[in-house]
Structure 1
Amino acid sequence: MDRRAILFHGTSANPDVVWLPWLRRRLLERGYAVDVPHYPGLNVEDIATFLPKVLADHTFDTSTVLVGHSGGAALLLAILEHIDTRVDQAFLVAGYWTQPNVESEPVLQDEYDWAAIRAHVRDLYFINSREDPYGCDDKQGRAMFERLGGTQIIRDDGHFGDIDQPFESFELLDRLID
């Protein structure tokens, strides 16, 4: 079965920031087909109209690995809820499911069907930091973990990359992806 990974950037970002290019290269070297789409509308457009566009752009199956950073991780919750199949792994890096700060968060749904999300992923990881400048912290990760199970990893790595936080590689994430 051909392994495929889809990497989702965060809010106001693009596929060429933080560790995304590095992880793309690593996964390509390991034989994955890798898609790193650019979604300027992420966390700008309301999830109700944005999500159908994302779902139409990709195919998901049991050989798919999903990785999302920040707003891209929040997007993964909606994707996992609304797909009609099960993916292999999903990694929510600096993810969140409730308003993490005072900024508008159109990527968030008002509520989530946690059972549907859990049913659509074999192996689920939440990777958060204790200190995240945007509030995408270990408490957000813990709340999702308590609803979904999986694996929670707590680090002291800020937002895992940002304008003022170079984070050009992510060895831990590379090791966790089957």
Structure 2
Amino acid sequence: MARRAIVVHGTGGHPDNVWYPWLADRLTARGYAVERPHLPRLNVEPVAETLPRFLAAHPLDGDTVLVGHSGGAALLLAVLEHAPARVAQAVLVAGYATPPNDADEPVLQDTYDWDRIRAHAGDLVFVNSVRDPYGCDATQGRALLDRLGGTLVVRDDGHFGDWDQPYDEFPLLERLVL
């Protein structure tokens, strides 16, 4: 079976923004079947509403690689906790598990079963920035690493793309994906 990648955009994002199309093209060239779902209610509606739709629309298995950015990375924590199977890899870019700022974060669960997430995650990679305008910074990445193990990569690249931060390519991320 061919390896699949699911690239999940962040809060208020779109699958055609920042590096998502570029990464999809690069992974497709490597033989991946790539999905870039559009989740317009991500981090607007409670994760308990988003999660079952995501899991129903995107079957997960040992050939699946999950890549999430910001709110999409936070969603992937819940996806991994409730996944029916272990995935090959999860790469969380500007990820977080606790509120990174004073905004509402309905994408976060109140609690997480870290052992279950670890059991379903395969290879875990966290990519965070020293400084992030939303607080999805290296401190958040370190907290995820401490809870889940894996690899933490710390850069000084802001939010790795946003409405005011062009980030059309992300070569490091491509190298990190299995």
Q: Which TM bucket (shorter chain)?
A: over 0.9
The reply on whether 1:118 has 2:111 as its aligned counterpart is no
CA-CA distance at 1:49 after TM superposition: 1.5
Shift of 1:45: 0.5
| AA in 2 matched with 1:69 | H
**Percent same amino acid at aligned positions?**
65
Give the TM-score taking structure 1 as reference length.
0.99
TM-score after normalising by structure 2: 0.99
| Runs of 5+ unmatched residues, structure 2 | none
Gap runs ≥5 in structure 1: none
Count of aligned pairs: 178
Q: Distance in 2 between matches of 1:48 and 1:16?
A: 25
Runs of 4+ in structure 1 deviating by more than 3 angstroms, as ranges, are none
Q: For 1:85 and 1:127, locate their aligned partners in 2 and report how far apart those are by CA, in whole Å.
A: 24
Partners of 1:125 and 1:176 in 2: CA distance: 8
What is the root-mean-square deviation of aligned Cα atoms in Å? 0.6
Deviations 1:100-133 (A, max 9, x none): 0111100000000000000002100010001000
- Where do residues 1-178 of structure 1 align in structure 2 (5 Å cutoff)? 1-178=1-178
Per the TM alignment, residue 176 of structure 1 is displaced from its structure 2 partner at its CA by 1.2
Amino acid at match of 1:75: L
SS in 1 for 2:6: strand
CA distance in 1, matches of 2:13, 2:176: 24
Q: Distance in 1 between matches of 2:121 and 2:55?
A: 16
Deviation per CA, 1:54-81: give whole Å up to 9, x if none: 1111110000000000000000100000
